[in-house]
């Protein structure tokens, strides 16, 4: 593939500097594009410097005047694709598409209609390539092949990042389905990529940090659902509307675990009412996800929780607030349920509960039963 231009970076993130790729860091905050595409944690110890007016925008940033929503899509016929791209599209349309399906009713959408959408939306096309490449990495026994496809996945994921953010900022009836599809794909990439990087490249891997990155990637996905709902009434994603999915009452075991979370949360209502309400919304959404998954096992209600929790809750996770971590630990039980069905989730739920157990090991005895439930469910 042609060599890409990188601007000189003087204020790169800590991770790019440590990995000696500071000339490739685009300095996007809070997460730079390089770290995001690789599923890595991203931090800045040096405050951003004010750029001189003469400097142009970075290669991955948008211009000062955003493109009109009506701007024509790039003509994919002008792009150069090779045999590997054909191989990855074949992989997606014969195998990888199943990674996004909850049942047979989803099959035609993801196997046929989504690839057709990708012909007119290059960010979605690159997302399909990246996910198929990671699927190859996850299922091959050939280390050399795995490393080669891992490079392809990283490259395609990076190519998709900026155009997707641009489309997310300018939703239209013409692009909303493609944006909706890509938001699901990047969630799967965000979960799988760091684990596969760690396996084959020895890069540092933390499931907690992985989930922080996924939360950041999905910020704005709730906006997709809200704004595009009128446009999706007759489209392939109408049935994926989280709020329209049916529930099944929780069994006594799950209901007891949720009630224990509510009980612990009530302990702070008099001391921090704002945090109480933030936690309560996250617990309510988690209960809905559990009930919808109980009715019909499907990735949608599991990934939806990551999308609909509030920014304030995610901020609490990022600074390791214990109670927010405890709620995330309960969501990890749902992630564990996916392991038997989907390659991208294998090992992730158990790893997340194990890391969170270590983070929360010094909590008082009132937390014992709340901690025990997810630990028991995933076998930690």
Residues 33-56: tens digit of each pLDDT: 777 666 677 777 765 554 444 444
Which H helix or E strand runs over 160? helix 143-169
Fold classification of 1-49 is CD2-Gal4 (4.10.240)
Which DSSP category does 43 fall into? -
Banded model confidence at residue 246, pLDDT cuts 50, 70, 90: confident
pLDDT of residue 219: 66
Its pTM stands at 0.74
If you average pLDDT over every residue of the chain, what do you get?
Answer: 81
State the CB neighbour count (10 A cutoff) for residue 22. Answer: 20
* First-to-last C-alpha distance (Å) of the chain: 44
Q: What percent of the chain has pLDDT over 90?
A: 46
The span from the CA of 148 to the CA of 84, in Å, is 11
- Of 66-70, 130-134, 264-268, the range with the highest mean pLDDT is 130-134
State the CB neighbour count (10 A cutoff) for residue 82. Answer: 8
Tell me the Cα Rg of the chain.
21
Question: What b-and-e string marks burial along 231-270, b requiring 16 or more CB atoms within 10 Å of the CB?
Answer: bbeebbbeebebeebebeebeeebeebbebbeebbeeeee
Residues listed for the chain = 380
User: What's the sign of the alpha-carbon dihedral 27, 218, 310, 250?
Assistant: negative
Banded model confidence at residue 32, pLDDT cuts 50, 70, 90: confident
Domain boundaries, the chain: 1-49, 81-206+216-240, 242-378
Return the HEC string of 95-117: CHHHHHCCCHHHHHHHHHHHHHH
């Amino acid at each position: 593939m042609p060599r890409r231009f990188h601007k000189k970076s003087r204020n790169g993130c800590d991770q790019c500097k440590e990995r000696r790729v500071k000339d490739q860091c685009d300095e996007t905050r809070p997460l730079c594009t390089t770290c995001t595409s690789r599923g890595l944690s991203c931090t800045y110890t040096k405050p951003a410097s004010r750029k001189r007016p003469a400097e142009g925008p970075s290669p991955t940033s948008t211009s000062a005047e955003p493109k009109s929503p009506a701007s024509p899509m790039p003509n994919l016929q002008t792009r150069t694709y090779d045999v590997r791209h054909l191989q990855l599209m074949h992989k997606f349309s014969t195998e990888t598409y199943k990674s996004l399906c909850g049942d047979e009713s989803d099959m035609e959408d993801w196997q046929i209609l989504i690839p057709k959408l990708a012909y007119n939306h290059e960010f979605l096309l690159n997302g399909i390539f990246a996910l198929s490449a990671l699927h190859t990495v996850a299922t091959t026994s050939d280390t050399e092949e795995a490393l080669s496809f891992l490079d392809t996945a990283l490259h395609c994921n990076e190519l998709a990042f900026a155009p997707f953010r641009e489309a997310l900022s300018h939703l239209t009836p013409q692009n909303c389905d493609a944006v909706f599809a890509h938001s699901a794909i990047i969630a799967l990439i965000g979960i799988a990529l760091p684990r596969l990087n760690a396996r084959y490249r020895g890069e540092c891997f933390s499931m907690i940090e992985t989930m922080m990155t996924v939360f950041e990637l999905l910020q704005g996905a709730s906006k997709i659902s809200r704004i595009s709902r009128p446009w999706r009434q007759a489209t392939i994603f109408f049935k994926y509307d989280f709020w329209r999915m049916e529930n099944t009452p929780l069994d006594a075991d799950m209901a007891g675990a949720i009630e224990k979370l509510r009980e612990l949360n009530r302990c702070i209502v008099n001391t921090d009412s704002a945090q109480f309400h933030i936690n309560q919304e996250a617990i309510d959404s988690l209960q809905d996800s559990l009930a919808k998954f109980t009715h019909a096992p499907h990735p949608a209600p599991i990934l939806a929780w990551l999308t609909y929790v509030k920014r304030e809750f995610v901020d609490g996770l990022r600074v390791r607030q214990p109670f927010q971590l405890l709620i995330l630990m309960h969501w990890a039980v749902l992630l564990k349920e996916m392991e038997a069905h989907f390659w991208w989730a294998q090992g992730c739920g158990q790893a997340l509960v194990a890391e969170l157990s270590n983070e929360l090991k010094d909590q008082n005895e009132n937390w014992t039963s709340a901690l025990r439930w997810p630990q028991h469910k995933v076998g930690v």
